[in-house]
Amino acid sequence: MSTIPEHTDGAAPADSLLAWTTRPASLTLPDFHLSAEELRSTLAAVLTQFQQDLEAIASDESPADFYNTVVALEKAMEPLRRLFAVAGVLQGSAHTDDNSDALAEIDAELSSAFLGVELNSALFNRLEAINDASLLPEDRRHLQLLLADFIRAGARLDDDGKKRVEAVSAELTRLENRFANTVLAETNASAFVIERGGPYSPDGLTEAQLAAAAAQAQERGVDGWVLPLESTTVQPPAESLTDPETRSALFAASADRCSRGGEGDTRGLVADITALRAALAGVLGYSSFSEYAIEPQQAGNPEQASSLLISLLEPANQQLQRELDTIEKTAQPQRLAAEDIPFWLRRVGSQLYGIDHSEISKYFEFNRVLHDGVFYAASVLYGLSFENVTDRFAGRLWDETVTVWEISEGAKVLGLVCIDPYTRPSKRGGAWMAELVTGARLTGEQPIITMTMNVPRPAPGEPALLSLDDVNTLFHEFGHVWHGLFADSTYPSRAGTSVPRDYVEFPSQLNEMWMLHPDVLPNYARHITTGEPLPESLVEQIKQAQKFGQGFGTIEYLAAALLDLSWHGLEPGEQVEAVLDFESEVLSAAGFSPSVQPRYRSPYFMHAFSFGYAAGYYSYLWSEQLAAYVSEWFDQQGGLKAESGQAFRRSILAPGFSVDPEQAITQFFGEQPTVDPLLRRRGLPTREQTQAEVPAGSPADTSAPAGSPAQAPAETHSEAPREI
Q: Which residues contact 570 (CB under 8 A, 6 or more apart)?
A: 274, 275, 277, 278, 288, 289, 576, 712
Say how far apart CA 611 and CA 600 lie, in whole Å: 13
One-letter amino acid of 82: R
Instruction: Supply the angle between the helices 100-118 and 36-58 in degrees, to the nearest 10.
Output: 10
What DSSP state is assigned to residue 525? -
Say how far apart CA 681 and CA 627 lie, in whole Å: 9
Q: Which of 722, 280, 675 is nearest to 480 (CA)?
A: 722
Residue 230 near residue 454, CB atoms below 8 Å: yes
Q: Which of 167, 20, 182 is nearest to 87 (CA)?
A: 20
Q: Which of 503, 506, 493 is nearest to 660 (CA)?
A: 503
Say how far apart CA 423 and CA 473 lie, in whole Å: 14
Residue 618 near residue 299, CB atoms below 8 Å: yes
Q: Specify the DSSP element, H or E, that contains 450.
A: strand 448-455
CA dihedral 108, 109, 114, 117 (to 10 degrees): 140
Of the residues 365, 477, 505, 556, which is catalytic? Answer: 477
Local structure of 221: helix, strand or coil: coil
Q: Which of 129, 156, 138, 108 is nearest to 58 (CA)?
A: 129
Beta strands in 385-444 (DSSP E): 385-388, 403-409, 412-422, 432-437
Query: Is 671 in the active site?
Result: no
One-letter amino acid of 424: R
How far is residue 276 from each of residues 187, 190, 285, 449, measured CA to CA in Å? 25, 29, 14, 33
Cα–Cα–Cα angle for 382, 385, 387, nearest 5°? Answer: 150
How far is residue 418 from each of residues 204, 219, 389, 397, 449, measured CA to CA in Å? 34, 26, 10, 9, 6
Residue 579 near residue 622, CB atoms below 8 Å: no
What are residue 297's phi and psi, to 5 degrees? -85, 175
Q: Specify the DSSP element, H or E, that contains 454.
A: strand 448-455
One-letter amino acid of 233: T
How far is residue 191 from each of residues 179, 222, 249, 535, 607, measured CA to CA in Å? 18, 12, 11, 37, 21
Say how far apart CA 119 and CA 131 lie, in whole Å: 21
Residue 231 near residue 606, CB atoms below 8 Å: yes
Q: Which of 56, 77, 362 is nearest to 207 (CA)?
A: 362
Residues linked to residue 455 through DSSP beta bridges, in sequence order: 422
Residues with catalytic function = 477
